[in-house]
Amino acid sequence: MAAIDEGKQASAELLRQETKAMKEEEEPQSLESEKLILESISSEKLPLNDNSSPAGSPDLADEETESTRDSNSTEREAGNESDNLEENEAAELKEEWQDILGSGVIMKKVLKEGQPDSRPSRSSRCVINYTCKLEEAHEDDFADVADNYELGLGEGDVVQGLDVALGLMNSSERCLLKIGPRLAFGDRGLPPKIPAGATVLFDVELVSHQPDTACEELSVQERQKIGNKKRERGNWWYQRGENTLAVQCYRRALDYLDEVESENPEHQKPTDAELQRLLEDRLKVLNNMASAQIKMQLYDQALISLQTVLRCQPDNVKALFRKAKIHSAKNDLPQALRLLEKARTLEPEDPHIAKEIASVTAQINKQKNSEREYARRMFGNNSASSTDKKAPENKKKSENTKVPVWATLGATFALGLAGLVAYKLKYA
């Protein structure tokens, strides 16, 4: 047993020397690992009947040290691999969604690649399939769905975010679009599914696109169909308070509703009835566009639109009413009142006309009262000031006239008295 204890002490001493040498020759390990190894060796007890030689103990310690190093190395490698995996997943997730504008307002994730280099150009006639829902909505809880929807790119036929993204898609491409409220449905939302200020998710497929066909090559029926669709879209924007987009749609509608005849020899010459319907639709667009222009305070442009309507339809009540609003805004109240009176003869029961007449009449009376008050103040002050100036002069004049009268009377009395005295002296 003494031999065994001596061998154990020799092994421990040898391990301490080797550990000290390793510290001097190599970079020291962490204090915690070193302490763990020393405690493991010093606490080890050999069995009494162990026939192994004392020289075997240092080999066992070396094996345990190497095992601990391998374990620590494996843990570090596993940790590094885990970190790298997380970074790669984050990078892949980031690459899936593309920030189209660089501001985060439109995010795009491609679901199916399209034909390379086949993007549409502005005013191209596009056909798309799409669904629209809230970002956090259920998978089938759609706010809007459309298949084979035809639109003109960049013409306000869809919300602005979708319009921009379509110009960056290839033919047959399908993608997800995450669009912020500013370029989606704004502060009005799309009741009842989409509330105000909501981010929406579009699933869009660009089925096909082709260059825009010139209006002259379309038949009257085709132009009327497209023109009225543009007019209805303009009405949609107008109701949402987006007057700029409304005017854009109205102007595009006028291009299609022009009375120009088709240059395609295959198309039949339009009848008078067809041209009359085309003209009536065109006048509706001009009338609606004037209303949007008034909202934008573009009074001169609105006046041109309304004058075109009234040349063709002198008794158009809406055009008369809106023209009166323009003259009222320009402070030409008498002309506004004349137009409103004419509109009232055509629509005597219209409450809007009666209300506007009352408003314009009140403004005219107010102006008249203001003019009278101004005239009274101006001319009244002048007459009062002239009267005030004349009063001291008259007073001074009256005072000046009083002195000669008394002097005359005194002189007369003195002359009479002198004559009387002279008479008495002469005949006494």
Question: What are 332-341's pLDDT values in tens digits?
Answer: 999 999 999 9
DSSP assigned state of 105: S
Answer yes or no: do 176 and 224 share one domain.
no
| This prediction's pTM | 0.67
Enumerate the β-bridge partners of residue 210.
125
Q: Which of 197, 212, 227 is a domain's end point?
A: 212
- 407 CB contacts (<8 Å, ≥6 apart)? none
241 belongs to a structural domain: yes
Interatomic CA distance for residues 313 and 132, integer angstroms: 42
Average pLDDT over residues 113-124: 94
DSSP code string of 156-212: TSS-HHHHHHHTTPPTT-EEEEEE-GGGTTTTT-BTTTB-TT--EEEEEEEEEEEPP
High-pLDDT (> 90) share of the chain, % = 55
Same domain, yes or no: 279 and 306? yes
Work out the average pLDDT over 10-26. Answer: 50
Give, in order, the Cα–Cα distances in Å from 184 to each of 62, 97, 300: 69, 18, 31
Position 145 in a domain: yes
Please provide residue 145's backbone torsions phi and psi, each rounded to the nearest 5 degrees. -140, 135
Mean pLDDT, residues 299-306 taken together: 96
Say whether pLDDT at 104 is over 90: yes
For residue 305, the enclosing domain spans 213-260+272-313
Share in percent of the chain as helix, strand, coil (round to 5): 65, 10, 25
282 and 298 belong to one structural domain:
yes
Residues 192 and 136 in one domain: yes
Q: Please indicate, yes or no, if residue 362 is contained in any of the structural domains.
A: yes
- Domain identity same for 217 and 160: no
The strand order across the sheet containing 125-134 reads: 98-99, 106-112, 174-179, 200-210, 125-134, 144-152
* Nearest alpha carbon to residue 215 among 260, 250, 269: 260
pLDDT tens-digit map of 140-178: 899 999 999 999 999 999 999 999 999 999 999 999 999
Question: Do both 197 and 247 map to the same domain?
Answer: no
User: The CATH number of the domain where 134 resides is what?
Assistant: 3.10.50.40
- Average pLDDT, integer, range 377-382: 72
pLDDT digits (tens, 9 = 90+) for 29-52: 444 444 444 454 344 443 434 444
Is the pLDDT at 94 greater than 80, yes or no?
no
Q: Is the confidence at residue 257, as pLDDT, over 90?
A: yes
* Residue 216 pLDDT class (50, 70, 90 cuts): confident
In this structure, is residue 390 part of a structural domain?
no
